[in-house]
Chains A and B, each alone.
Chain A
Amino acid sequence: MASLDDKSQANSGRSPAESAAEPTSSRFERLPDPWNEARAEPKPAPAPPPTPPTTTEQTPPTTTPANDALDALLLDLQQVLEQPVAATIDRSPAVSAEAVTPRPVAEQPEAADPTMSEIDETPASAESSSESAPIPLPVESEADALLEKLQSLALDALNRQPLKPPAKSESSLEIGESAVATSPPEPEAPATEDLVTIPIIEQLVEPLTAPTATAPEPEYGEAPPAIVPDTAVSPELPGDEPDAAMSPEPESSSSPIPAAAFAGMDSNGAAQSLPLADQPPAEVGVSNGKGSEPTKTTPGLFRLGDRDCDPLDVLRELLLSPEPGVEAAKPTAPQPTVPKPPRRRPPTMPPATPMRPATPEPPIAKAPLEPDAAAVGSQPGIVVRPLAPGAATAVSPQPLPSAQEVETTYLRQLIADLEQKLVELEKQVYQPTDVINPLLPLIAQLMKQKTTMNEDAVYTAVVPVLDRAIRERSDQNHAAMSEALAELIPDAIAEEIRRSPETIAKSLGPEMAAALREQIKLEKDSISRALGPEMGRAIKEQIELERDAMVDALYPVIGNTIAKYMGEVVAQINERVETALSPAGLRRKMQAKLQGVSEAELILQESMPTVVQAIFLIHKASGLVISELQPSLEARLEPNMIAGMLTAIRSFVNDCIAQSGEISELNEIEYGDSRIVLEVAGYCYLAVVVRGTPRQAFVKRMQRTLMLIVRRYGREIEEFDGDSSTLSPELHNDLAALGDSEIMTPDGKPRRRSRALLWLILAILALIVLPWSIFQVRGFLARRLETKLETALADLDAQTYTTLDAEVRGGRVTLQGRVPSESVKADAAQMVAGVAPQLELDNQIVTVQDPSAIAMSVQLMTAALNRDPGVELTAEYQANTVVLRGSVGETDDRQSLIESFEQLPGVEQVDAARLEPAALQERIYFDLNSASLKAADRSGKIAAVADFLEASPDVQLKIYGHSDEQGTSAINEVLARERAGAVRDVLVNAGIDAERLTIEGVPEPPEDVSSDEPQWLGRTVRFELLSAPE
């Protein structure tokens, strides 16, 4: 209640203060503002004098018209009860938004009517106010009457006392309400307030001020919780209510009060000041509010205010008196419910509180309170007093002197009633549940209705606080806040993304990298796993979008890789080629050796045939083409464009790149597998576009051609200005000559080379093959002749030791072999001459006397002759002579036999002496010691011998007589001789010349008879043919 009053007063105070013209305003001006004092001392100084009068003046009126004033106060209270909630809420945000300095002047002047206008202006607020009004009413219905009285009282009080409170309230209002211009109000307020209030305040408050100053801050810290509930309950209402409050009663506009309440110190101060002047109850209420419970809506405010002005009291109550403590418990109870809001306010409040409220208000509050307290002391309402004992004491003096006896009794009664009502009201107010509960359903409805009717108003009311509210709450209970918001965040983000993706992108963008890094830190593989599958497509996409950029990016990596790979491949090729023994390989090898380059290079060169694509003769200065040569096949190059660009590049190189002072020329531009070779001379230069690598020879030819052209057409070229008709047509022909030599025929010269090489190889082959083939042919012919000759010579085989060889070489035949005689040799020569008369004969046949061979043939002949019956011979070959031994049956046979041996090759003489007839082989045996012939022998054996001898007259015969080994040799010798003689005699008798017969006696057996044989074999005569005597 008190707070409400305060507020109303404050409002009224404000309005006057604001409207400088009004007396109230002047009062206000006089009233010393604790803030002002606190802020600026100079002002307070003048204030003191005026203040006392004002206070005195005010106080008396309050006592007399007390009823009215009380009624007014009640009304105010009622309004306040209704509005405070809204007001506080509204202001609290404002306060929070703008610390201490609200819109001072603007609102204050309007306070009475202006407030209305303001309300009107803000329809939302008006509506809300209307709505809010009904709510409080029902609650307070009981106290309506009282309230009315109070209200009237309050009004009176306000009229009189507004000075103090208004000033404070104004200031507070300003602060509480969104401060439009802080600076202006402050200065005014101080001035007015100072005049009246300061002295009183000083007197009354002195003791209190100190405590308040200390207390306020801590209380704020405590208070906040209590405040919170209000704001929490009806955020919208505040905005409306304050307006409503303003509208009904400009003077006591509740709105200002709440603002004051928010301001904390100010509101309290105002509240206190009001009670002092008019009605103690109000004060009491205030005190109660402080102690136990401020109105439901403004509990926070009240407390704040209380703390501001009575912080000490409250503390004392809490600490010292158990009862107050109980009361205090109530306020504390609400606090817990809404812990957050308090914080909001406190931060803003503190600045305001320390400044003004602390010092000034406490005094005022105490002064009025005390008197009231004293008056009301006995009454129930006084219960609250304990809270502000100090204040009560201070105040009491004032009310007593001012009130008249009659009136006092009446007043006391009234006050008692009022207090009772107030207490009830307070209860209702301070026990939020009682008041709030009925409100609760309505609040929701209100909110809804308000929202539907005027969304903007709700927004404006709520919006300024929201951020702060959220922040506060999250400070207080981080987890709860997170939990509350958590559900919304995903949807909120999704919605925002849908609505304005760019904004989201912009806000998230800068943190994306950090977020990714963090995630990678947390889970190393997660990001790569997430991105991995998309990388391929991303790269592909990027390549499509910006191929060059990708190439640039990848080149350093891939370029090296490819280079390495190519190097390996080339090395492989090289290796393969080197090991291959193809003619091409050999040629390449030779070429590589000769040129001193690697074979691989040659291979590459071979694989890229050189093609001259175009030849341009370009004017050096203008870059215009003088003459050009292009194959008709390929896409034609734009000559003047190329020439111009080349010229520009040349200029660029000369101007910008070449060192100053040096003249360096651009010789070649390479692009891909092609290049432009440049030759400069005179006023022109030659540019040849070549695919592949031009050979040195071609470059030389270029130079020669260019020199020739410059020499011949130098003048024309120098004066060339783009008109080709000024040139002699020969120029083009000369250039064409260069082209003809090479142009457009891919790889001309290499082919010629290979052909020459082929010829060389062929020649070598011919050299090798021809002689060989000739030799082969000739050999074949010779072979045929040889065989012919040899078959012919084979006829002589019988007469030769070895087969005769005929070797034909060239026109010459060589005979080789071994023959026994010159005749055979001659025969062979004759035969060759017969077969191949054209050949020259080299007769190397050797005539050989081979004893073994002769012996062999002799043996063969012997064997052959022995086959005849009657022939029994052995032949022996010694030194060209064959010695025959044996017997022959027929004499004739003997002769022919000897002849056949004589014909054998190599046999020059035959000794047939030992070849005897069979008859001579017989032996004639004798008896022991006898030399007489047996008859049979005479006619037999001896007769045969005689026949032989007769047939072979030239044969001489030796007759040997033998004896056995018995007897003496002498006897045997005689005996042997006799025996031989006997045979000779017979022969002679048979007519044989004795001279052809020779006898000899050998006194022993023949050599071929051994001693172990029978003796009779030794007693014999044998014949031996002697060769014919020579």
Chain B
Amino acid sequence: MSDLARKICLVGDFSVGKTSLIRRFVDGQFSDEYLSTVGVKLSRKVAKLPQPTAAGVTDVELLIWDIEGQTQFKAIAPSYLQGSKGAIIVADVKRPETVKHLHDHLDLFFSVNKTGSIIIAFNKVDLLSAAQLTELQAEYSFRDRPQVIATYTTSAKTGDNVNRIFQELAADMIKVS
């Protein structure tokens, strides 16, 4: 058997919508209820690769670690990030401080995993006007970090870019390895 599996983590401040993004991606659902994730929640989804690998594998099993959001009282446990080849770092566009913390999360991730692909997700974009969006996108750039392969504005509520970030991350992880 030649299976391909990858661990990816969702990192970010509390209540930025990590769990919602995963729920949207895995179950295709969304709920306004806020349920704080405690510890870690695991989800799994098989993603199609854009092109088969050298070994002829066409699917990758994504093990998505939904890690308890960072609060001012509690940092993210680095050990949860171990062995992760990719991560989606999430911020809430309506809460500027969560955007500011993106770099901290990047640093944390790279301190644990020297290599690894990152996608930045500005979430809850459905709450923002188009103008604000462009402004936001202009303001934050992660060009200085080559491992950040993309930055997207997402909305778990509308499903905007949600599948895309996972698919793209999956493809990139396979490519890198």
Which residues between 7 and 66 of chain B lie within 8 Å of chain A, taking CB atoms?
7, 39-40, 42, 44, 55, 57, 61, 63, 65
- Complex Cα distance, B85 from A641, in Å, reads 17
* Set of chain A residues within 8 Å of B42, measured between Cβ atoms: 641, 644-645, 648
Residues B177 and A651 in contact, CB atoms below 8 Å apart: no
Asked if A843 is an interface residue, CB under 8 A from chain B, the answer is no
The reply to whether B39 and A640 contact each other, CB–CB distance below 8 Å, is no
A722 & B82 in contact (Cβ 8 Å cutoff): no
A723 — which chain B residues lie within 8 A by C-beta? 2-5, 55, 57, 177
Chain B residues in 8 Å Cβ range of A196: none
List 28 contacting pairs A-B, 8 Å CB cutoff, sorted by A. A620-B82, A622-B85, A623-B7, A623-B63, A623-B83, A624-B63, A638-B44, A640-B44, A640-B63, A641-B44, A641-B63, A644-B7, A644-B65, A648-B39, A648-B80, A652-B39, A654-B79, A655-B79, A656-B77, A721-B85, A722-B3, A722-B4, A722-B5, A722-B7, A722-B61, A723-B2, A723-B55, A724-B3
Q: Contact partner of B5 among A620, A625, A645, A654, CB < 8 A?
A: A625
Let me know if B84 is at the binding interface, CB within 8 A.
yes
Distance, CA A586 to CA B114, complexed state (A): 63
Q: What is the bound-complex CA distance between A620 and B83, given in angstroms?
A: 8
Within the assembled complex, what's the spacing in Å between the Cα atoms of A656 and B57? 38
Task: Give residues 627-663 of A contacting B (CB, 8 Å).
Answer: 638, 640-641, 644-645, 648, 651-652, 654-656
B6 touches A722 (CB 8 A): yes
Whether B131 sits at the interface, judged by CB under 8 Å, is: no
A275: min CB distance to chain B, Å = 77
Determine whether B130 belongs to the interface, using a CB cutoff of 8 Å to chain A: no
Q: Once bound together, how far apart are the Cα atoms of A98 and B83, in whole Å?
A: 78
Chain B CB within 10 Å, residue with most, of A621, A722, A724: A722
| Nearest CB on A from B84, distance (A) | 7
In the complex, chain A residues 706-734 whose Cβ is within 8 Å of any chain B Cβ: 721-725
On A, residues with C-beta under 8 Å from B are 619-625, 638, 640-641, 644-645, 648, 651-652, 654-656, 721-725
CB distance from B166 to the nearest CB of A (A): 15
Residue of B nearest to A723 (CB): B4
B138 at the interface (CB under 8 A from A): no
Chain A nearest CB, measured from B119 CB (Å): 18
Q: Give the complex CA separation of A656 and B78 in angstroms.
A: 12
Given A622-B83, A655-B79, A644 and B63 contact (CB-CB distance below 8 Å): yes
**Would A622 and B44 be within 8 Å (CB), given that A641-B63, A722-B6 are in contact?**
no
List 17 additional contacts besides A622-B83, A644-B65, A648-B39; criterion CB under 8 Å: A623-B7, A623-B63, A624-B7, A625-B5, A640-B44, A640-B61, A640-B63, A641-B63, A644-B42, A645-B42, A648-B40, A651-B79, A655-B77, A655-B79, A722-B3, A722-B7, A723-B4
In the bound complex, residues from chain B placing their C-beta under 8 Å from that of A624 are 5-7, 63, 83
Across the A-B interface, how many residue pairs have beta carbons closer than 8 Å? 75
Residues of chain A contacted by B77 (CB below 8 angstroms): 651-652, 655-656
Chain B nearest Cβ from A195, distance in angstroms: 69
- Chain A residues with CB under 8 Å of B1's CB are 724
CB distance from A61 to the nearest CB of B (A): 79
B75 CB, min distance to chain A CBs, angstroms: 11
**Chain B residues near A619 (CB, 8 Å)?**
83
Look across to chain A and name the residue whose beta carbon is closest to the beta carbon of B115.
A721
Give Cα A654–Cα B78 distance, bound, in whole angstroms. Answer: 12
CB nearest neighbor in B for A729: B1
Instruction: Report the Cα distance A645→B41, complex, angstroms.
Output: 8
The answer to whether A725 and B61 have CB atoms under 8 Å apart is: no
In the bound complex, residues from chain A placing their C-beta under 8 Å from that of B4 are: 722-724
- Residues in B whose Cβ lies below 8 Å from that of A724: 1-5
| Cα–Cα distance between A651 and B82 once the two chains are bound (Å) | 10
The complex places the Cα of A664 from the Cα of B83 at a distance, in Å, of: 20
Q: A654 to chain B: which residues have CB within 8 Å?
A: 79
Q: Which residues of B contact A640 (CB under 8 A)?
A: 5, 44, 61, 63
Bound CA–CA A724/B2 (angstroms): 5
Closest Cβ of chain B to A910, distance in Å, is 121
**Residues of B with C-beta under 8 A to A655:** 77, 79
Q: Which residue of A lies closest to B39 (CB)?
A: A652
Which interface residue of B44, B63, B85 has the most chain A CB atoms within 10 A? Answer: B63
- Which of the residues A623, A625, A651, A725 comes within 8 Å of B55, measured between beta carbons? A725
User: How far is it, in angstroms, between the C-alpha of A651 and the C-alpha of B177 when the chains are bound?
Assistant: 25
B170 to chain A minimum Cβ distance, whole angstroms, is: 11
Q: Across the interface, name the chain A residue whose C-beta is closest to B1.
A: A724
- Whether A651 pairs with B84 at a CB distance below 8 angstroms is no
Question: Which residue of A622, A652, A725 contacts B7 across the interface (Cβ within 8 Å)?
Answer: A622
Query: In the complex, how many angstroms separate the beta carbon of A636 from the nearest chain B beta carbon?
Result: 13
Query: Lowest 5 CB-CB distances: which A-B pairs, in order?
Result: A622-B83, A621-B83, A722-B5, A651-B79, A621-B82
Kindly list chain B residues whose C-beta atoms are within 8 Å of the C-beta of A721: 6, 85, 177
**How far is A59 from B13 in the complex, measured between Cα atoms in Å?**
89
Residues on the B chain within 8 Å of A722, using CB: 3-7, 61, 85
B63: A residues at CB distance < 8 A: 623-624, 640-641, 644
| CA gap between A873 and B57 in the complex, in Å | 136
CA distance A654 to B39 in the complex (A): 13
Query: What B residues does A656 contact at CB under 8 A?
Result: 77
Nearest CB to that of B174 among chain A residues?
A: A723
Q: Kindly state the separation between the CA atoms of A723 and B80 in the bound complex, as whole angstroms.
A: 20
Q: How far is the CA of A644 from the CA of B43 in the complex (A)?
A: 9
- Alpha-carbon distance between A180 and B82 when the two chains are bound, in angstroms: 75
Distance from A618 Cβ to chain B, minimum over Cβ atoms (Å): 10
Task: Tell me how far the C-beta of A132 lies from the nearest C-beta in chain B, rounded to whole angstroms.
Answer: 62
A648 touches B83 (CB 8 A): no
Q: How distant is B10 from chain A, measured CB to nearest CB, in Å?
A: 13
Interface 0/1 of B132-153, CB less than 8 Å to A: 0000000000000000000000
**For the complex, what is the distance from the CA of A644 to the CA of B40, rounded to whole Å?**
10
Question: Which residues of B have CB within 8 Å of A652?
Answer: 39-40, 77
